[in-house]
């Protein structure tokens, strides 16, 4: 059985804790590897080594750090196929989807090539008599990222790229369910020119997470995962004096207005609701058509599209629309929530409960489901299902539809489909959600804008990638310098202006 260890000081090392977790092939249900789970001592030792390596890396000028990012982009493009194969084998998503995962991470690395510009400070000449004032952005020191299974390439790169470009050392604790790609990324960073020890990849479970939260050397932590864990990490990390950004769960709504192009809207809902088996924090899981006529027409267009979806292993190539979910437990939870929807009175229009794939009966496949007449009191509405389940909630008016999204406890992403500019503008201005799509189903911003939700989808003041990432991974230092040039003043005990 293959054993996966850690990336420490520029090389793969075996774990020493004696604890392991199984890494499954989601398509077959078989265990394909065991990944080591680090002890507190292993984590602390990796952090100590990273702190030593960071001193020289932090003193490296931003342009040279940017050249590492530039070379990393080349290497990611070179190894795209190998990375996608490894990612799909552990996560289960299709190869095109895996390449999209990698590409969105690569774009953040591209953005980090601009580190010299992003790290420039401010300067005021002659702020007072003979006084100059300027600021500089300096690295935190050692930062850490705790990343989820559903984007094993993208989110680690969203975290490590800006952190490293800012001159920090970085401790990555990826999901133990999909550990291979983060280790491959670390090896590519070394090949790109990153010094040993500046990036450490520690595989682990809650023991490792708590060790990161409690380690006094780690100054900043980024997390992506479920809301309960986000709240836990944010609270414990902040109480230990760390800078923390945490991104949690979602329940993303799409409002479909009567004037919308329903074919476009239906295609968008199928892609956004069922892609990656629904295991995306930006998946659309709730469709809100306005008016009975709109709802009936939308359902009529959705049913044949959903029934035609092809579910299977990534090895089937382009013949598959989405693959299995990540674990047997995830599959069981999705099907439990489907049963609760039926019990609560929602109409199951497309029923995927009996889905079986010949030759892959033990795989973690879940057929597509479509509910109609869902209401806010139902568990399938209140919970993030994280599976191939789309719920339709009918609204009588635009205001009612808007209220569903605004009253929901999550605020990650949302969308509206309409031809009316006034409605779209009103929606964008009023909705209390962090990322908005107007005739765009999954409004994930490009790398040079910032990514982040509102309400219980996000904890912390700064978002991921874009300018916020450089703010998060640096501290601002402001210097006031005086060159008297013959000016003589006696001692003064008064607080006075410089001019």
> Which residues are the active-site residues?
281
- Cβ-Cβ contacts under 8 Å for 393 (sequence gap 6 or more): 286, 287, 288, 374, 375, 376, 381, 404
Tokens of 219: 């100054």
Q: What is the largest CA-CA distance in the chain?
A: 90
Cβ–Cβ < 8 Å for 3, 20? yes
Distance CA 390, CA 104 (A): 25
List phi, psi (to 5°) of 137. Answer: -105, 125
Tokens of 236: 């414990």
- Cβ-Cβ contacts under 8 Å for 392 (sequence gap 6 or more): 286, 287, 288, 289, 295, 298, 299, 302, 349, 370, 371, 372, 373, 374
Angle between helices 154-165 and 62-78 (to 10 degrees): 160
3-state secondary structure of 474: strand
Cβ–Cβ < 8 Å for 20, 2? no
Distance CA 290, CA 473 (A): 43
Distance CA 387, CA 1 (A): 30
Cβ–Cβ < 8 Å for 25, 364? no
* DSSP characters over 345-408: T-EEEE--TT---TT-TTS-----EEEES--TTSHHHHS---SSEEEE--BSSHHHHHHHHHHS
Residue 466 CB burial class (10 angstroms; 0-12, 13-18, ≥19): buried
The pairing of strands 123-128 and 131-139 is antiparallel
């Amino acid at each position: 059985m293959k054993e996966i260890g850690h990336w420490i000081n520029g090389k793969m090392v075996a774990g020493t804790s004696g604890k392991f977790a199984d890494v499954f092939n989601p398509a077959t249900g078989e265990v394909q590897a065991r990944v080591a789970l680090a002890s507190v001592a292993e984590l602390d030792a990796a952090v100590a080594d990273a702190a030593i390596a960071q001193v020289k890396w932090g003193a490296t000028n931003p342009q040279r750090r940017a050249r590492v990012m530039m070379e990393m982009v080349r290497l990611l493009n070179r190894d795209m196929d190998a990375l996608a194969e490894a990612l799909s084998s552990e996560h289960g998503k299709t190869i095109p989807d895996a390449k999209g995962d990698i590409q969105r991470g690569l774009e953040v690395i591209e953005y980090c090539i601009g580190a010299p510009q992003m790290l420039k400070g401010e300067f005021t000449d002659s702020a007072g008599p003979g006084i100059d004032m300027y600021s500089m952005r300096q690295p935190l020191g050692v930062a850490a990222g705790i990343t989820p299974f559903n984007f094993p390439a993208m989110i680690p790169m969203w975290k490590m790229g800006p952190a490293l470009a800012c001159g920090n050392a970085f401790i990555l604790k990826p999901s133990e369910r999909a550990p291979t790609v983060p280790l491959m990324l670390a090896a590519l960073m070394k090949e790109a020119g990153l010094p040993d020890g500046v990036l450490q990849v520690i595989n682990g479970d809650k023991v490792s997470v708590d060790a990161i939260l409690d380690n006094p050397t780690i100054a900043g932590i980024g997390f992506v995962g479920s809301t309960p864990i986000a709240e836990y990490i944010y609270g414990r990390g902040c109480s230990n004096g760390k800078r923390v950004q945490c991104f949690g769960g979602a329940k993303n709504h799409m409002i479909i207005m009567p004037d919308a192009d329903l074919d476009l809207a239906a295609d968008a809902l199928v892609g956004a609701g069922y892609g990656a088996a629904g295991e995306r924090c930006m998946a659309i899981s709730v469709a809100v058509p306005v008016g009975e006529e709109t709802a009936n027409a939308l359902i009529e267009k959705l049913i044949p599209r959903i029934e035609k979806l092809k579910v299977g292993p990534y090895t089937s190539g382009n013949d598959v629309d989405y693959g299995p979910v990540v674990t047997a437990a995830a599959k069981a939870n999705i099907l439990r929530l489907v049963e609760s929807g039926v019990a609560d009175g929602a109409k199951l229009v497309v029923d995927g409960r009996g889905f079986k794939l010949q030759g892959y009966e033990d795989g973690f496949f879940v057929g597509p489901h479509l509910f109609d007449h869902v209401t806010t009191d139902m568990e399938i509405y209140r919970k993030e299902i994280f599976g191939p389940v789309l719920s339709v909630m009918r609204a009588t008016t635009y205001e009612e539809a808007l209220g569903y999204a605004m009253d929901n406890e999550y605020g990650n992403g949302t969308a509206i489909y309409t031809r009316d500019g006034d409605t779209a503008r009103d929606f964008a201005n009023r909705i209390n959600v962090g990322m908005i799509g107007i005739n765009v189903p999954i409004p994930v911003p490009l790398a040079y804008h910032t990514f982040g939700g509102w309400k219980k989808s996000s904890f912390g003041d700064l978002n991921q990638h874009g300018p916020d990432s450089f703010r998060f991974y640096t501290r601002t230092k402001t210097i006031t310098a005086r060159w008297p040039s013959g000016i003589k003043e006696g001692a003064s005990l008064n607080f006075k202006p410089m001019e």
